[in-house]
């Protein structure tokens, strides 16, 4: 089994300007490339798990998200970093439209995306690490059994996640 570094996207990989779906609106968080390089060199898979209710709300499409994801992966690849997988949830139980308006097991705080990644990529969740900036990230990781959880407490972070390790810079995230 493999270890993984799970990353939330908005607020951890990029500054969260709200419903980011175009490259011109995407600003990388300081330290994200160095963090990913450290974990990749230590043998961790790099897996993004992101709620994307903007799709469900009709603000942008799955195709828009896919285009931005490919652009983002290319930016990482230019720094010799491989994102092994990107999981996203387009649903929202209250504000979703059409097929996106539903309860699901993938929208964090549910652990579905992490469990799907673990099954698909043969990941040992107990030996893995999650970095998120919302309580829902930490709750999903805890429910999935992720061994180490880091709450990235930047100015836009939401919550207090008392059972996670609080960091204010990404270089504080440690390899187990």
What would the pLDDT profile of 44-87 be if each residue is shown by its tens digit?
A: 999 999 999 999 999 999 999 999 999 999 999 999 999 999 99
Is 168 known to sit in a ligand binding site? Answer: no
- According to the model, what pLDDT value does residue 108 have? 98
Q: Which of 40-49, 89-98, 151-160 has the lowest mean pLDDT?
A: 151-160
Which residues lie closer than 8 Å to 106 by C-beta, 6 or more apart?
Answer: 87, 89, 91, 112, 113, 116
Report residue 154's pLDDT band, with 50, 70 and 90 as the boundaries: confident
Kindly report which listed range (64-78, 131-145, 156-170) carries the lowest average pLDDT score: 156-170
Query: In the structure encoding, which two tokens stand for residue 16, read together?
Result: 């969260």
Point out the least confidently predicted range of 58-62, 82-86, 150-154, 169-173.
Answer: 150-154
User: Rounded to a whole number, what is the distance in angstroms from the first to the last CA of the chain?
Assistant: 15
With beta carbons less than 8 A apart as the criterion, state whether 170 and 35 touch: yes
Q: 9-172: which CATH number, 1.20.1050.10, 3.40.50.1000, 3.40.50.10420, 3.40.50.2000?
A: 3.40.50.1000
Q: Tokens at residue 60, please?
A: 């942008």
Q: Determine the pLDDT at residue 71.
A: 99
Helices within the chain (DSSP H only): 32-41, 53-56, 62-77, 112-121, 135-144
Residue 61: the pLDDT is 98
36 in a known ligand binding site: no
| pLDDT surpassing 80 at residue 130 | yes
18 is in an annotated binding site: yes
pLDDT at 176: 78
What are the residue numbers of the active site? 8, 10
């Amino acid at each position: 089994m493999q270890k993984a570094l799970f990353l939330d996207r908005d607020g951890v990989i990029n500054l969260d300007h709200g419903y980011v779906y175009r490259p011109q609106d995407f600003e990388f968080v300081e330290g994200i490339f160095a963090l990913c390089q450290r974990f990749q060199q230590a043998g961790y898979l790099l897996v993004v798990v992101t709620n994307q209710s903007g799709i469900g709300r009709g603000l942008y499409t799955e195709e828009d998200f896919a285009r931005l994801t490919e652009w983002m992966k290319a930016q990482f690849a230019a720094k010799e970093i491989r994102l092994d997988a990107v999981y996203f949830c387009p649903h929202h139980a209250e504000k979703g439209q059409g097929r996106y308006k539903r309860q699901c097991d993938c929208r964090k705080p549910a652990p579905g995306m992490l469990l799907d990644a673990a099954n698909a990529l043969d990941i040992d969740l107990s030996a893995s690490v999650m970095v998120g900036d919302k309580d829902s990230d930490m709750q999903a990781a805890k429910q999935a059994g992720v061994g180490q959880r880091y709450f990235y407490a930047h100015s836009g972070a939401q919550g207090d996640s008392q059972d996670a390790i609080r960091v204010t810079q990404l270089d504080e995230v440690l390899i187990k």
